[in-house]
Chain A
Amino acid sequence: MLARVNQITFAAPLREAWSQVWFQDKPTSSLEIARMGIGAALVLHYGLATPYLLTFWGDDGWMPRALLANEITDPWQQSVFFYFTAPWQWSAFHAFFLFCCAAFMLGWRTSWVKWAVLIGHISYDYRNPIMTYGVDSIVACLLLILCFAPVGRAMSLDRVREVRSAKRKSLGASPPAFTSPWAFACTRLMQIEMAVLFFFSAIGKLTGDDWRGGDAIWWLFTNSYYYNNDILNLLASQYWLVNVATYGTILIEIAFPFLIWQRRSRPYMLAAALFLHLQFAVLMYLYYFSWVMIMGQMSFVRPEWLSGLGAAWKRKMGEMEMIYDGACGFCKRSMAWFLAFDGLRQIQIRDFRTNPSPIVSDEQMIKAVYLVLPDGRALPGFEAYRYVVLRVPGLWWQVPFFYVPLFSRLFGHPIYNWIAANRSRL
């Protein structure tokens, strides 16, 4: 009996510590940033590879199927391309994969497209394994974690659909933000992945004479691929810069996995890692690699930082009240759709039929929707939307339509006025 009591008192703190490490109830926001960033990188990367589809991955390209046997010896190395026989199948799959990458980036049907993206990415890698390099492995690692994670619950079209659905029932409804202990566990997995990556990258460098001797950066820039005469001139005349850059790289990589976990040192380590990868992007032209690494590092961004950033943005932009016609079905449907993108809940709404505005008269409201600003200004119709899309991050994708010089206003006003005049028939 005493043993059982001891066991219980001993197990409870352990279980609590375990939950503290892995299963805190947190939002998916940092994972969503990684999802969008990696999705965008994949769309761009594989999209630009489209003209080379059959050259890189086709049977008559650089890696004929007979040669592949030299590289693929493990039955666990699988690719959908192994089962294709006609060129149209490559094209169809590539189009489907690009579609899934775009959907993954936007967070549309995320629960299944994420798996299609992972399978597709691995399939490309194993169809021509000798062409791939470090970043392809990093993408696979991060994608697998994102597949485990409940991503698509925020900053996504899935979230927009959920909010829109609730707002169609009641415009004032706002579904609460998703949080989950499993989201935190997956964030933790991504953090560990990045820490392990940094650690072994540093260890690998410490075993080499070039790095230990402080000359690695010099040899790097004499390489034809990274050659830049101005940089080489600077390094040759100020060779201490080579030593600083070489040892600085190792220092950041070795410090990262140890100091990234502490509350005080995390911002500095994140800034150092960001600086390092911006250097790789600018000086070594490793844009794809640097971008993917930065997206992985986003897992260390605390949700509190993001919510603080959102609150600061909301304060800076000020309150916005949109006044609409509650008797118009089309207006309510449009508002539900529009407000669904307002993730920070910056826009307040008022139905002038039930709650008349002290600033805008009912006669004015019959003609157009109005936006009332804290300084008392009231912007009608097109100008109201034009003002909002620039200030609500979820609506930034509409900025190109509203801010084309001359054309937006030239066509926007008449289009809006026509819709407003005919709204009862829509």
Chain B
Amino acid sequence: MKRILIVDDDSDTVERLGVLLADRYQTDSASNGFDALAQLNRQAYDMVLLDIRMPGLDGPGLIKLLQERRIPVPIVLMSANPDLSALARRLGVSLSLTKPFPVERLEAIIDQL
């Protein structure tokens, strides 16, 4: 079972994504970049579903830190930002989902990994 880390400051989104993905994947959650980094240090994940706007360490900040520390983990960016695909390209992330998105699309991406 794939292990997914969901990082978003909106607790509703984190919780509900967790519920929806729970049947097929093992999920953990973090509410900002620093939490996520702590989780990633403790545990290996198959994928990080990462929001961009977050208090403390935001999505781009976390990606930079992961690159600096050479922690290899596939990242899927999710955001309500209208320029998401451009931002993802700048950050070197190939997968992104513009909020709101149907959970089926997320599942399709996870299954492709």
Query: A and B, one complex?
Result: no
